[in-house]
Amino acid sequence: MRDRRLHGGWLRTIALAALLCALVLGVGFGIAGPLGLGAAAALILGSGLVVFLYSERTVLAALRARPVGEVERPELYRLVRDLSTAARLPVPRLYISPAMQPNVLAVGRRSRSVSVCCTEGLLRSLTGAELRAVLAHELAHVSRRDIAVFSWCAGFAALLALGHLRPLAALVLRCSAPMSREYGADASGALMTGDPMALASALRKIDRCAASLPLPPSGSLAASGHLMIAHPFPDEGYGRLFLTHPPVGERVRRLEALAGYPR
């Protein structure tokens, strides 16, 4: 099931990218014939290379994230190292964003180059058990091999958003990042920690704070929201356009069921 879901995400992304490439090539040929076709092909290849090389950097820059070492955040490193060992994953690089909205994301082209970014709001708002739960959720995305396609899409969508094509950027993210991915990472992360209710509690807190401290859905930041554990933008206007997360209430209900919580 996981492989079919993964392949489906890649296939949707490839199909949409192929359609957009064909459109650019057609416009180039229509404007300047073979010369325009060549220019359009060069633009596509150049854009693809930029997205591949700089998608991770673009996401972290959008959040104004800075790297942190083990000396500065020993408890955070201990949590991530323990969870990585349990999941049989390399220990990711850690970053902290100054954003006061509690949120977290993982980004990277492969499991050996993943970066996990926590906001200051997250570190201040959650208990130790809740923080462990959301970090496990992010590592679950890595172990489920969601990260590569979602990171590439973040870079591609950022390129479109910076080109004032936010509706098209939102379409890319909606096609490539189905809401079901969060249910799977919730379940896998909860099984990793053995504490589904800690993740449920963290999601409630994050959702409440995100509503009162929304991030602006602009530029590269708009293209990074699907990587976060909860929707970071306002539930109206362009913020709703970039909605790629399932309702927190349903996520909590599923986690309660996983914990055998009485209804």
- What tens digit of pLDDT does each residue of 96-137 get? 999 999 999 999 877 788 999 999 999 999 999 999 999 999
Residue 7 predicted with pLDDT over 50: no
**Residue 177 — φ and ψ, nearest 5°?**
-125, 75
Please report, as a single letter, which amino acid is at residue 93. R
The per-residue pLDDT for 48 is: 54
- Axis-axis angle for helices 128-143, 74-87 (nearest 10): 40
Give alpha helix (H) positions in 63-146.
Answer: 74-87, 120-125, 128-143
- Sign of the C-alpha dihedral computed for residues 37, 12, 154 and 164 taken in this order: positive
> What are the residue numbers of the active site?
138
- What is the C-alpha separation between 226 and 47, in angstroms, rounded? 21
Tokens linked to 2: 């996981």
- What tens digit of pLDDT does each residue of 178-200 get? 788 899 999 999 999 999 999 99
Where exactly are the structural domains of the chain? Answer: 2-259
209 and 121 Cβ atoms separated by less than 8 Å: yes
The per-residue pLDDT for 11 is: 61
Low-confidence winner among 5-14, 33-42, 187-196 (lowest mean pLDDT): 5-14
- What tens digit of pLDDT does each residue of 203-221 get? 999 999 998 999 998 878 8
Residue 91 per-residue DSSP state: P
Residues 77-87: what's their mean pLDDT? 95
The per-residue pLDDT for 17 is: 61
The per-residue pLDDT for 2 is: 47
Residue 15 predicted with pLDDT over 80: no
109 and 58 Cβ atoms separated by less than 8 Å: no
- What is the C-alpha separation between 231 and 101, in angstroms, rounded? 11
- What tens digit of pLDDT does each residue of 126-178 get? 999 999 999 999 999 999 887 877 877 777 777 777 666 777 777 777 777 77
The per-residue pLDDT for 263 is: 55
Residue 52 predicted with pLDDT over 70: no
C-alpha closest to that of 175 among 155, 158, 150? 150
**Residue 39 — φ and ψ, nearest 5°?**
-65, -40
Helix (H, G, I), strand (E, B) or coil at 109: coil
